[in-house]
Amino acid sequence: MPNATTTGLILAAGKGTRMKSDLPKCLHRVCGVPMVKLVADNMIAAGVDEVIIVVGHGGESLISELGDSYKYAWQHEQLGTGHAVQCALAELGDVEGTVVIACGDTPLISTEYFKQFLDAHSGVCTLSVAHLADASGYGRVVVEGDKATRIVEQKDASADEKQIRHANAGMYCVDGAALREALKTLKSDNAQGEYYLTDIVSYFSESGRAVTAFVSDDPAILLGVNDRVQLAEANAILRKQINERHMRAGVTIVDPSSTYIGPDVKIGQDSIIEPNTYLEGSTRIGKGSRIGPNCKFTDIEVGDDCYIFLSHGYEAKIGNGCRIGPFANVRPKTVLEDGVRLGNFVEVNRSHLHEGVKVNHLTYIGDSEIGEETNIGAGTITCNFDGYKKSRTMIGKNVFVGSNSTLVAPVTIGDGALTAAGSVITDEIPAGGAGFGRARQVTKDGWAERRRQQHENKSE
Ligand code: UD1
Ligand code: MG
């Protein structure tokens, strides 16, 4: 990697006509992450000082999706990849040092590949080339020895040129001043009537400045996504790479073909991921946990030795040794301390459940704090919303909440207290107390029998 400043430019202004989509092409997701974000983050991880994304078609939605971690430059009219770089440089002013350019639709370029490419850069320009069995669709690179002399686009290529198997991966490392000079020479006299960035290669070559061809032996990494078939291909390749990385690090993935793990997810050793499981965003799974089958977790932290199956969770924290499922829903701002159990059809939202709390069946817990070792009976509902505002339910330690209790917030239940089954609890229950909030039962001897007799007499 050169010592001088390295600026990353990612081209993402195109409409992506071949995607046939209202969503800008570069926002389509690969393993849960917009393609252009994968490219940008890998560039940054490889040591690029600053990343500028060129936006145009759908630019507002792209900027609002990706946020302010990157800089943006506008290309209001999409007149080609060369024009996109012209627009970026016009907005940025003088770019010092090296500029590394990549397309926002090549999501498989890894951090490692970016590093190798930057290290390989010498002279004014280095071009990344993939040697493919079939280079159809890509710009073909005329390679002489270890130099690239010219690129011809698919639509401009002669029958002979179409036989070339060196494909342009759309990645360039260029000296900033030389790039500025080359861009001034671009013309749009080609099949697409566009200003092609690819033409900088013949410009340098013809003016006596050799362009280094950095030829890859791993063609999959350079896959350009232009349609939904290639999108699925990119997903499959990255997913396989991610799954294999975890398996090599000591995670069992029972069925990799039905396991979907995002690039930033971390999983501890000896955890087991069962089929049909999705782990997304910044999800962290500790050691020795068993997750799945059929789990979907986004931005969630799970501790060690948990067993979670057939359940959903997002933006929450789950401690060690928790057992969750089947059919639990752990919603945002929820903290489950060690040893918590959530059973079937239990939803927990914005609540803190301390160590050893058990909520085993058919329950909604919202805006609540529940103390250690408390047991919540089947069918309990915290009524946290009165139609206008949300209120909290505070439950102490070692409380026994009877089945089918309705806890109307704001309400407090002290340590060691209980609620009788079927109660509607509206008032505070002090520590050690009991809350009965239900009608007293009336029992009538023989009543059912008399009713049956009457019914039978009538029908005779
Ligand atoms: C481009 C290359 C081709 C290469 C392939 C690699 C050119 C002329 N062709 O072709 O040699 O093999 O990538 O995947 O460079 N973009 C803009 N503004 C524009 C046009 C495009 O920002 O005016 C962006 C697109 O959003 C996209 C990238 O540039 O992310 C590449 O454009 P695309 O239309 O996909 O070019 P390809 O036909 O794939
Ligand atoms: Mg493309």
State the Cα–Cα distance between residues 436 and 424, nearest whole angstrom: 8
The residue nearest atom 25 of ligand 1, judged by CA position, is 14
- Structural domains present in the chain: 6-222 (3.90.550.10), 228-435 (2.160.10.10)
pLDDT of 358-415, one tens digit each?
Answer: 999 999 999 999 999 999 999 999 999 999 999 999 999 999 999 999 999 999 999 9
Between CA 176 and CA 147 the distance in angstroms is: 20
Q: Which atom of ligand 1 is nearest to the CA of 11?
A: 22
> What is the per-residue DSSP string for 184-220?
TT----STT----TTHHHHHHHHTT-PEEEEEES-GG
Structure tokens belonging to residue 356: 């050893």
Show the tokens assigned to 31.
Answer: 């393993």
Could you tell me how many helices (H) and strands (E) the chain has, helices first?
8, 39
DSSP code, position 306? -
Q: Give me 12's structure tokens.
A: 């993402």
**Ligand at shortest distance from the CA of 195:** 1
Q: pTM above 0.75?
A: yes
Residues in the ligand 1 pocket, defined by CB under 6 Å? 11-14, 25-26, 54, 56, 75, 78-81, 83-84, 103-106, 138-139, 151, 153, 167-170, 196-198, 224, 226
- Cα 73 to ligand 2 centroid, rounded to whole Å: 19
CB-based burial label for 175 (10 Å; 0-12, 13-18, 19+): buried
pLDDT grade, residue 3 (50/70/90)?
Answer: low
319 to each of 17, 105, 285, 296, how far by Cα in Å?
46, 38, 10, 17
The angle formed by the CA atoms of residues 34, 229 and 261, to the nearest 5 degrees, is 45
- Would the pLDDT of 2 be above 60? no
Interval 93-145: pLDDT, tens: 877 899 999 999 999 999 999 999 999 999 999 999 999 999 999 999 999 99
Give the H or E element holding residue 7.
strand 6-12
**Residue minimizing CA distance to atom 1 of ligand 1:** 170
Pairing of strands 316-318, 375-376: unpaired
Enumerate the β-bridge partners of residue 129: 168, 215
Could you tell me if 367 and 384 are in contact, meaning their C-beta atoms sit under 8 angstroms apart?
yes
